[in-house]
Structure 1
Amino acid sequence: MKILHIVGHIREAGNGFVNAAVDLACLQAKYGHEVSVISSGGEYEELLETYGVKHFLRKEKGGKLLRHFNALKLYWHIFNQFQPDIVHAHIPREVILSRILQFKFQYAIVSTVHNEFQWRAIFTGLADRVIAVSQAVGQSMIRRGIPAEKVRIILNGTLDSPRKRSIEDYPPKKLHQPAILTVAGMQQRKGIADLIDAFKIIAPKFPQAHLYLVGDGPDRLQFEHQAQQTAVSDRIHFEGFQPQPEQYYASADIFVLASHQEPFGLVLTEARKAGCAIVATDVDGIPEALDRGQAGVLVPPKNSGALAEALKQLLQDPERLNLYKQRSKKNLEWFKVDRVVEETLKVYHELYPSS
C-alpha cells in the first residue's frame, strides 16, 4: 500500500500528534508499505529516512490564502508523483486540501482527530474515515455531526516507539524525594496553575517534597511568576522541554496530569511504564488511559483542592503510594505502538480491501 501522511511539522518538541504520525509512518514502512510524509520539516527527518520513509518538505510563506494556494500546488505535484492509495491527514486543514484534490487522484482520505477540543476539528469529518484517539473523542465528534459510520476508535499508544530507546537506557535524573512530576506543554489547558496551587497547599505538610515541571509553552512565564509568589518557590522546578523525559519518569514518585481538556494523554502511558503513581483529571480520554481509574487516581478538573487531597493521600501513606505504583505498571500491552499501527492498517483496508 502507498501511504502518505500529512502533518504540520516533525519537530522533536513533545507534540503528541507529531509523535503519533512519526510512529505510524516509521512502522508502516517497516511492515513493508511505501510511506511518505509531507511536513514543514524537523528533527525527525533523519529517523524517517532511517526507516525508508520519503519526506516532502512544505514551506509555509505568505498570508493564509497564499499558504493554502501554495500547499494545493505542492500537493498536486506530490500526489501526481507518489500516487498514494491512502492520504492520512493529521491536521484538519490538510483534510480540506486533500478533499479538494481527490477528484483528480484515486486515493482515500483518513484523518485522525488529535485535538478534538479545537473548533476546526469538525473538518476531519470530510475524510472517508475518521480515527478518534479515545472513546471520549469519538463520541464527541459524533455529537458534533460526524457520521458514526465514519468514526473508528483507535486508542493512542506510544510504548516501544521507534522514536525512543528503552527506558532502561536512560540513567534516572537525580531528583529530590519525594518527587512530583508533570510532563506537559506550558499552557492553561494543561492545568499547570492548578498543580502549582495544589503543591502550595500540601508543601508545608511534606517539607521534603519537590515539584518538577517538564515542558515549555506560551504560558511558562505566567506559571513561573505564580510559583515565585508562593512560599515554596525553591521547591518548584521548571525544567523546560526535555526530548527524553524518561530520566524524570524513572525518578519520580508521583506523576500528575492536571489537564482541563485531554483527548488521551500519551505521557500517561510513559509514566505508567516507569512505575509512577499517577494522579490525573477525570476528563475526556484520560480515564481510558488509566484503565478507568484502576491505574491511577482520578480527580475533578480545575480543582486544586481535590488535586492536593489526592497528593496528600499518597504522600502520607507509603503503602498506598506503592500500591498505585504497582497498579500503573499493569495492563500495558494494550498501549504499545504496534497495536496502533495494526488497527490503523485495518482502517485503511476498509477503503482498499484488496491491498
Structure 2
Amino acid sequence: MHNDYSIERWPSFLKLLRFGLVNQDLDRVDIIHAHGEALAFQSMLLSLMRDLPFVYTFHGLLPGGLAPIPRNKREAVNGEVSRVLVNTRFAMNQVNKLGCQKSKVSILPQGLPLEEFAFAPRTCPGEKEELHLLSIGRFHRDKGYGYSLLAVARLLQAGVKVHYYMVGEGPDKNWMQTLIDKLNLSGHVTLYEAMPSDKLHEMYKKAHIFILASLGNRYDKWAETQGVVLQEAQAIGCIPVATNVGGIPECLSHKQDSILVPEKSSRAISDAVLYLLDHPEEWCSYQENGRKNVEQNFSADVIGTRMAEILKKVAGSGDKKNQAAAADK
C-alpha cells in the first residue's frame, strides 16, 4: 500500500507548524494579523511559535448554519491577542460579551477604495419612469428579504413602476424565488448570482435606492455590524433605505444621507421609498451627504492611516519581545 506524505495532505495544524518553523520571511515580521475568529486561533499558535504579537479583525458572529469557534479556542485567543479590531460599537459589544477585555478592542471600520467607486448619482425617476431598487448580500432570511419583497408588492399596489434587483448567493434562494412567485413579482424582481465587481458597480450605477432590510439587534447571534454595501452604494450615489439594527445606525445619518426604518416592516420600507419619490428636491442632498460620509469616515486612505497608527502602537509597546526584554532588565 502506497502512503502519500506530501505536504498537501498534511493536516492544517502541521502545515502551520512547518510554516512557522521554516519560513525565514517571518524573521522580518513584527505583527501577525488575521481576519475572523477561526484564523485568529491559527494566528495565535503562529504568534506563540515566533514570539510575535498578533491582531485579528472581528467581522461579527457567523450567520446561521455555520459552526462558531469552540469556546476553549475563543478563550485562548482572547487571552493572547494583543488587539482586536471591530468595525462598530455594536461589534465591540459583541466581542466584549464573548469575553475579550475592552482595553484590547479598537473600532476601525472596513475601508473602501474610493477610486473604484466613481460618484454617479441618479435623479429621481418621473411618474412614467421605472424606479430601480437594489440589494446585495447573502440570500438568507436574516437579511430581511421577505420584508423587502413585500415592500415591492406594496409599491406596485401604490402605482409605482418599480424593478427590484437582488444580487447574492446563499441557502434561501429557492425560498426567495417561491415568495416572488407567490406575490406575483416575477416581472418586477430579478435575482443574480456570482457577479464580478465590475458588474456590481454597474448595478449600483443603475439603481436609484439601495435596500438593506437586515434583522436583529442580537449580541449573541449574527447581526449586521457595518454593512459595507451601504458605503459602496453611498460612494456611487445610491440612496440607502436600511433597517435600524446592529451597527447600521452608526454608519448612516437618518434623513441626511439615508432613511433608517424599523426591522420586520415592509410598510416602513415602502413608506421610505415613497417619501423619497415624493421629495425629488432632496435627492441631491442625500447623495452628496452620502458620498461625503464615505470620504470622511470609510475611505481606504482614512482607515489605512488609522490602522497603521494602531499597529505601530502594538509593535512598539505591546509585543512579546519588548515585554520579555523589559522583564530581563
Q: TM-score, normalised by structure 2?
A: 0.77
Does 1:340 find its partner at 2:295? no
Does 1:106 find its partner at 2:106? no
The worse-fitting range, judged by mean Cα deviation, of 323-332 and 228-237 is 323-332
DSSP-derived class of the 2:48 partner:
coil
Provide the rounded CA distance (Å) in 2 between the counterparts of 1:128 and 1:104.
15
Q: Note if contact 1:79-1:105 (Cα within 8 Å) is conserved in structure 2.
A: no
Residue 248 of structure 1 aligns with an amino acid whose one-letter code is: M
C-alpha distance 221-100 of structure 1, shift in aligned 2 (>3 A): same
Deviations 1:224-267 (A, max 9, x none): 12111112320111122322211111121111111122110111
1:331 maps to 293
Does 1:201 find its partner at 2:158? no
Provide the rounded CA distance (Å) in 2 between the counterparts of 1:70 and 1:206.
62
1:284 shift after superposition: 1.6
1:78 shift after superposition: 6.1
1:272 maps to 234
DSSP-derived class of the 2:302 partner:
helix
1:151 shift after superposition: 0.4
Provide the rounded CA distance (Å) in 1 between the counterparts of 2:23 and 2:149.
48
1:120 maps to 69
DSSP-derived class of the 1:309 partner:
helix
Larger Rg: 2
Residue 153 of structure 1 aligns with an amino acid whose one-letter code is: I
C-alpha distance 229-78 of structure 1, shift in aligned 2 (>3 A): farther
1:310 shift after superposition: 1.4
Does 1:282 find its partner at 2:244? yes
Q: Note if contact 1:116-1:141 (Cα within 8 Å) is conserved in structure 2.
A: no
1:317 shift after superposition: 3.4
Provide the rounded CA distance (Å) in 2 between the counterparts of 1:308 and 1:91.
35
Q: Which of 309, 322, 341 in structure 1 is aligned with 2:271?
A: 309
1:305 shift after superposition: 2.3
DSSP-derived class of the 2:313 partner:
helix
1:155 shift after superposition: 1.8
Provide the rounded CA distance (Å) in 2 between the counterparts of 1:192 and 1:208.
20
1:350 maps to 313
Which structure has more RCO (C-alpha within 8 Å, separation ≥ 6)? 2
Residue 217 of structure 1 aligns with an amino acid whose one-letter code is: G
DSSP-derived class of the 1:157 partner:
coil
Deviations 1:170-220 (A, max 9, x none): xxxxxx721011111212222222211111122122341111112222221
Unaligned runs of 5+ in 2: 1-6, 121-128, 216-222, 320-329
Q: Note if contact 1:195-1:307 (Cα within 8 Å) is conserved in structure 2.
A: yes
C-alpha distance 223-76 of structure 1, shift in aligned 2 (>3 A): same
Provide the rounded CA distance (Å) in 2 between the counterparts of 1:316 and 1:180.
16
Q: Which of 201, 208, 213 in structure 2 is aligned with 1:246?
A: 201
Q: Which of 296, 318, 323 in structure 1 is aligned with 2:258?
A: 296
Aligned CA-pair RMSD: 2.7
Q: TM-score, normalised by structure 1?
A: 0.72
The worse-fitting range, judged by mean Cα deviation, of 136-145 and 226-235 is 136-145
C-alpha distance 292-341 of structure 1, shift in aligned 2 (>3 A): farther
DSSP-derived class of the 2:50 partner:
coil
Which is richer in helix? Answer: 2
C-alpha distance 108-293 of structure 1, shift in aligned 2 (>3 A): farther
C-alpha distance 278-78 of structure 1, shift in aligned 2 (>3 A): farther
DSSP-derived class of the 2:187 partner:
helix
1:13 maps to none
C-alpha distance 241-289 of structure 1, shift in aligned 2 (>3 A): farther
Q: Percent identity?
A: 26
Q: How does 1:1-355 map to 2 (within 5 A)?
A: 67-77=11-21, 81-83=25-27, 84-116=29-61, 119-120=68-69, 123=74, 125=78, 126-160=80-114, 165-167=116-118, 177-243=130-196, 244=198, 245-260=200-215, 261-291=223-253, 294-333=256-295, 334-353=297-316
Q: Note if contact 1:99-1:127 (Cα within 8 Å) is conserved in structure 2.
A: yes
Unaligned runs of 5+ in 1: 1-57, 170-175
C-alpha distance 105-219 of structure 1, shift in aligned 2 (>3 A): same
C-alpha distance 250-128 of structure 1, shift in aligned 2 (>3 A): same
Provide the rounded CA distance (Å) in 2 between the counterparts of 1:339 and 1:305.
37
